[in-house]
Amino acid sequence: MKLEGKVALITGAGRGIGRGCALAIAEAGATVVVNDHPGSPDLADTVSAVQASGQKAIPVESDVFSRQGCEMLMAETLAAAGRLDILISNPAWSQRQSFLEFDPQIFEKVIGATLIAGFHISQLAARQMVSQGDGGKIIYISSVHGEMPYARAVAYNAAKAGLNHMARTIARELTPYRINVNVIAPGWIDTPGEHLLISAEQFAEKAARLPWGRLGTPADIGKTAAFLASDDADYITGAILRVDGGLVAKDT
């Protein structure tokens, strides 16, 4: 219960990595504010799972792809929980196309939803933590796409690379306030969205060829987030931590 008494906000917590982070952070003792987009069919399930662990979950539906949505989310978080100690910044959206055919509007949407949205929610969270005066933890969910130039993913690759460097810069600026800022870079993670891309047979075959012999899980990312959010990670800031089962090392 290393996070007992803390309040954590997790965006994109309806399913996948966001849900894994919410469950792990709650298991470590924090009250979690779990966010997903308006009308999310998944958010209630995350709330139920957190409550089943004996912790408190506060659901807030809000569109964090916009500044206004982030402001609303922060206001509702503070109204319900009174403070904010931990932010797991997990907004992202992607669509794959070849570079020569990439739709400029789609490119801008990916950058906005994956990079700019991360700026908005973390700036608001950091301002609140600074006003509280007792430090805090900001953890961005990035991707190995930030350093690996996967084909047909020019916008997402660029967004995650930008997110990584933005986080390092923010970490430098927030050190006087004892706000730790770090990045988790997942590899190939077994999320619902991944199963929409290929068949179950292809999925199993490709997973077996990974260095660790399996895909990562949302729980793998959640445990990492819980560590970075704890006092055990007090001397870590500006770090980009791969959680990829050796994927990047295999392909470099």
- Token readout for 129 is 């933590």
Angle at 136 between CA 135 and CA 138, to 5 degrees: 145
Determine which one of 140, 150, 156, 177 is catalytic. Answer: 156
- CB atoms < 10 A from the CB of 196, how many? 7
Residue 156 appears among annotated catalytic residues: yes
Q: Using an 8 Å Cβ cutoff, are 8 and 57 in contact?
A: no
> What is the edge-to-edge ordering of all strands in the sheet holding 179-186?
57-61, 31-36, 7-10, 86-89, 136-141, 179-186, 240-243
Q: How many residues does the chain have?
A: 252
Structure tokens at 133: 């005066």
List C-alpha distances in Å: 211 to 19, 94, 205: 25, 25, 13
Q: Which residues are catalytically annotated? A: 156
